[in-house]
Amino acid sequence: MPSDQTQDPNSHAFPTKQLTILAICRFSEPIAFNSILAYTYVMVRDLHGGDDTDASFYAGLLVSAYAVAEALTAIGWGALSDRYGRKPVVLFGLGGVAVSSLIFGLATEYWVALLARFIGGALNGNVAVMQTMVAEMVKNPEHEPKAYATQPFVWTLGGIIGSAMGGFLAQPAIFYPSLFPADGLFGRYPYLLPNLVSVVVIVLAIIQGMLFLEETNPRDSEASHETVFEDDDEPIDERTPLHSRKRRRSSARRGSWATIDRPVFVEESLPVPMEQNFDLRRSSFGTVRSIRLPPSATTDDENFQGRAYNFTIIMVTTALVLISFHQMGFCTLLPTHLLDKPAAPPGEIDLIGGLGYTVHDVGVYLAINGILGLFIQAIIFPIFVDYVGVWKSFVFSIVLYPLAYVVMPFLSAWPPALESTGIYLSLTLQSLFGIIVIPCALILLKDATPSPLMLGKVNGLAMSACCLARTISPPLVGIIYSAGGSAAAWWSCAGVAVVGTVQLFWVPRKHVQAVVGDNGTAARRRTMSNPRNEEAGTCPPVLE
């Protein structure tokens, strides 16, 4: 039977209660994910008996292991959520995060910590399921931008608290010896406390979810699913079930439906300052302030047989991949550089070692970085894009992005009073460019898609490529740090950003119509170029 919510004539009202309950579940995850970033490097060093050889590489593996495991199992969890419901999969996924955090905090060997991260990713299928639940909760399309914007806000807020918690609760016997004796539980397991707090928060989220979260995918409504999937050519959006036997059989000749038409984006488990989930099939893109897109000017032909991946799509996706790589490299490299011991005397340029900060200091910097991201998403981003425009914002961010990395290698030579200023400058530039460029790139990507029927495939290509880049970036940058020192690692990120700047010459200039924010503001109108013009070798006049 359909749920009461679907029969209620008021069900088209904004689902504040259910979104709040889901947001609490959502909030608990970045607390666990982001808390490890502040102390991963020193934890690896401690697990190796104080030896910091290749510690940056092993720390990068810990960061990426979760996402790798999640990528291997996420499609299966999507199938289970279609068969048994979204709610049990979400709650079980939270339980997996709790178990993973507990084992991670109790690890006394590196392989145990790595296994804990991998188990957590394998048991957590919430990445696509929660996104789908939001879509299924919202009955009125006018509410979609507001509903989707709540998720990045919750993710960012949880990340801020998680980053601070990891920094201030790790190694409690060292920083709070009067409360936590060295021979006590938290002296023997110096990284248990932040993980234990994460477990408590997650358990509370599970309890409130069990009591109040409503199922959005009624399991008894098999007939409705058959009706939905009777026509193979029906377009797929975020409300489409994550898995279907019938569609899977009919899609065999086209490739895996689960990985192409309804891809799963698994990089949310990576500790970045803002949520990286996106779906080109939506009518809006959300940061903290959602951007509502105009009606698509692409063809609505249900029998569209053209190419899904044109030149513009390939080039914009390549730009996204390069951004994803060096952005994730920054997120993992910053705490490593701050925590590593200096290799040169104070006041001299240190191109090999770090700055010698404590986990407390790192927790503060990461938390403030999250606050900066929240401010930029809510205030700077909509104003900037409204004034500058989508294309110019895209170009501006990519061209200037290398500046976010060039300051860090020289901070050791700065006066001590100015070191923090240099760190905050780098954090601000990283957040500003990253938060502006990704939504702009997604708008350009959607504009270049030749048909709405192709959005699933284009979305799958972009998400999979970005996820791969963010997954391999932490260990790869860690290898560079171990082999060449801190400056080499920072310059590798800057080098990839410079490659992105050069690659702009091959990105066709695109224009979109007025982009409307959830505050009612609209960017100045631009022409919407048809991707078919590009394939025919013609382009519309450039207005800006």
pLDDT tens over the chain, length 544 residues: 444 444 454 557 888 899 999 999 988 888 888 889 899 999 999 999 888 889 999 999 998 888 788 777 877 887 888 888 899 999 999 999 999 999 999 999 999 999 999 988 888 767 678 877 887 888 877 777 777 777 778 888 888 899 999 999 999 999 999 999 999 999 999 999 999 999 999 999 999 999 999 998 755 444 344 433 334 444 444 444 544 444 433 333 333 323 333 333 334 444 454 555 555 555 555 555 555 555 554 445 556 666 778 898 999 999 999 999 999 999 999 999 999 999 999 889 999 999 999 999 999 999 999 899 888 888 898 889 888 988 999 999 999 999 999 999 999 999 988 999 999 999 999 999 998 998 888 888 888 888 777 777 787 788 778 888 888 999 999 999 999 999 999 999 999 999 999 999 999 876 555 554 555 444 443 434 444 444 333 333 333 4
Q: CA quadruple 333, 334, 338, 344: dihedral positive or negative?
A: positive
Separation CA 162–CA 180 (nearest Å): 21
Any residues with CB less than 8 A from the CB of 381 and at least 6 apart, and which? Answer: 287, 289, 435, 436, 439
Residue 517 β-bridge partners:
291
Structure tokens at 335: 């705490």
Angle (CA) 231-262-465 rounded to 5° is 145
Return the pLDDT at 278: 54
Return the pLDDT at 294: 52
Strand locations in 157-253 (E):
none
Residue pair 3/214 in contact by the 8 Å Cβ criterion: yes
- φ and ψ at residue 291, rounded to 5 degrees: -110, 115
Is-above-0.75 flag for pTM?
Answer: yes
| CB-CB neighbours of 2 under 10 Å | 10
Separation CA 130–CA 207 (nearest Å): 17
Residue pair 270/160 in contact by the 8 Å Cβ criterion: no
**217: helix, strand or coil:** coil
Structure tokens at 417: 């009073």
Residue 528's nearest CA partner among 543, 514, 511, 515 is 511
Amino acid at 487: A
| CB-CB neighbours of 418 under 10 Å | 11
Separation CA 369–CA 424 (nearest Å): 8
Query: Edge-to-edge strand order for the sheet containing 290-292?
Result: 284-286, 290-292, 516-517
Output the DSSP codes for 387-428: HH-HHHHHHHHHHHTTHHHHSGGGGGGS-HHHHHHHHHHHHH
Residue pair 77/129 in contact by the 8 Å Cβ criterion: yes
Any residues with CB less than 8 A from the CB of 268 and at least 6 apart, and which? Answer: 29, 33, 127, 155, 275, 276, 277
Amino acid at 355: L
Return the pLDDT at 525: 39
Residue pair 84/219 in contact by the 8 Å Cβ criterion: yes
Residue pair 343/353 in contact by the 8 Å Cβ criterion: yes
Residue found under tokens 């895996």 = 256
SS (H, E, C) 444-496: HHHHHCCCHHHHHHHHHHHHHHHHHHHHHHHHHHHHHHHHHCHHHHHHHHHHH
Amino acid at 482: S
Separation CA 381–CA 48 (nearest Å): 43
How far from chain centre, in Å, is Cα 149? Answer: 14
Any residues with CB less than 8 A from the CB of 454 and at least 6 apart, and which? Answer: 304, 308
Residue 497's nearest CA partner among 275, 333, 279, 271 is 333
Separation CA 17–CA 114 (nearest Å): 37
Structure tokens at 22: 């889901």
Return the pLDDT at 510: 61
Helices then strands, counting H and E runs in the chain, come out as: 22, 3
Return the pLDDT at 136: 83
Amino acid at 236: I
Residue 312's nearest CA partner among 465, 515, 534 is 534
- φ and ψ at residue 324, rounded to 5 degrees: -60, -40
